[in-house]
Amino acid sequence: MPPGKSFHLALIVCAQVLGLTLWFSGTAAGPPMAREAVLPAGFLAWLTGAVQAGFVAGTLGSAALALSDRFDPRRLSAGAALVGAAANALILALPVGHPAVLALRAVTGAALAGVYPPGMKLAAGWADRNDTGLLVGLLVGGVTLGSATPHLANALGGLDWRVTVAASSAAAVAAAALILAVRLGPRHAPAPPFRAAHAVALFRNRGALLATLGYLGHMWELYAMWAWIGPYLAASFAAWRGAPDGTVGAAAAYATFVVMGAGAAGCVAAGLLADRVGRTRVTIWAMAISGGCCLLAGPAFGAHPALVVALGLVWGVTVVADSAQFSASVAELAEPGLVGTLLTVQTSLGFALTLATIQAMPWLVAHLGWQGGAFAVLAIGPALGCLAMARLRASPMAVRLAGGKG
């Protein structure tokens, strides 16, 4: 590794995890809010949904203006983290359940659009032909572990939601300070002169487009699984015991944390593997296994908790293991000066899709049931994603991935 590479990558990963606590804070704060006051219908769901909607809007705006490539990504990320910290902290000044809370969560999501994609660009700037997958995998692995943490907090009885919100704002301020200390990597490329057409460059780059189609198949499944694996585990444990869901709450919360947190190890392992055997292989393997878990979730419902958690662990590892490899693929296939913009477009499209699948899950559970295949519908995404990555593997552009390994 070049001198300072490990240090600067550690700074990037820490800054990303700290900054993205703004996203996770709504998940952790929601249940304590509900215990404190009667909340409007749908309020808890939109504590997270508003962040995702804001993130999609923010990434679309960022991509249209090519912000990640036109400006120093360190300053862009630090400024966005501070805006998100301020918007998040303003929640403390409002009554519990006030509609403006959701508006502030949307602003927070828009600010995070200036934190996450630039972070990936910074990590890619330090990568070489042999470790791009690992470096981006470390980044996504840290984010994955952070996304699981609220479930651990809830299993332990939760914290005062005001402490959670204040701590996440403080963490985002720390993230801004850390990211400003990062040095640009040797592969960081200056952007070409700005043109609005850069925002649609992804659709003219066949390799990056195929990688993004694979990413969309992955995202069809990922956030819906993360959002609903907790209720699934609680209902399954209760069905096995013949008891109400509420009596297994702590056990289900612990299991959810373990299942989701295991994905962090999957991201790192997949990054190491992808740099050695190829990105397309690893993404196809991961989506094939996670898609199979979607299909097995129904038959496994109500089985012994050890069996259900074992299935969940396999699913938790594979559902996110490939995530970083789609970003690494775009970073390798994009014109160097447009890496940030193409990553932002890819991320925006993926998160826009998650809004549909997350909102569809309650309808699927109500009409199909956990045993009847509510999760099985999610297998459509990985199946189509496998086809897209197989097309990429068969194309001449595959030689640009993972040092020629495809």
Q: Give the pLDDT score at 191.
A: 57
- pTM value is 0.85
Residue type, position 84, single letter: G
Across 64-68, 112-116, 244-248, least confident range: 244-248
Please, which residues have CB within 8 angstroms of residue 42's CB and are 6 or more apart in sequence?
none
pLDDT score of 270 more than 60: yes
What's the pLDDT tens digit per position in 7-57?
Answer: 888 899 889 888 888 887 877 788 788 888 888 877 877 887 888 899 989
| Band of residue 267 on the pLDDT scale cut at 50, 70, 90 | very high
Sequential DSSP letters for 236-274: HHHHHHTS-GGGGHHHHHHHHHHHHHHHHHHHHHHHHHH
Q: Contact 127/185 with Cβ under 8 angstroms?
A: yes
CATH class of 5-404: mainly alpha
| Band of residue 348 on the pLDDT scale cut at 50, 70, 90 | confident
Could you state, in order of their start, the residue ranges of all structural domains in the chain?
5-404
What's the pLDDT tens digit per position in 140-194?
Answer: 888 787 777 777 776 776 668 888 889 889 999 999 999 999 998 887 766 555 5
| Band of residue 1 on the pLDDT scale cut at 50, 70, 90 | very low
Region class of 395: left (phi > 0), else alpha (psi between -120 and 50), else beta: beta
Q: Mean per-residue pLDDT for 346-370?
A: 90
Taking alpha carbons only, the member of 350, 64, 396 closest to residue 201 is: 64
- Positive or negative, the CA dihedral 5, 6, 10, 16 is positive
Kindly state the percentage of the chain with pLDDT values over 90.
47
Q: Contact 21/171 with Cβ under 8 angstroms?
A: yes
Q: Give the pLDDT score at 386.
A: 98
Q: Give the pLDDT score at 192.
A: 57
What's the pLDDT tens digit per position in 364-396?
Answer: 999 999 998 899 999 999 999 999 999 999 999
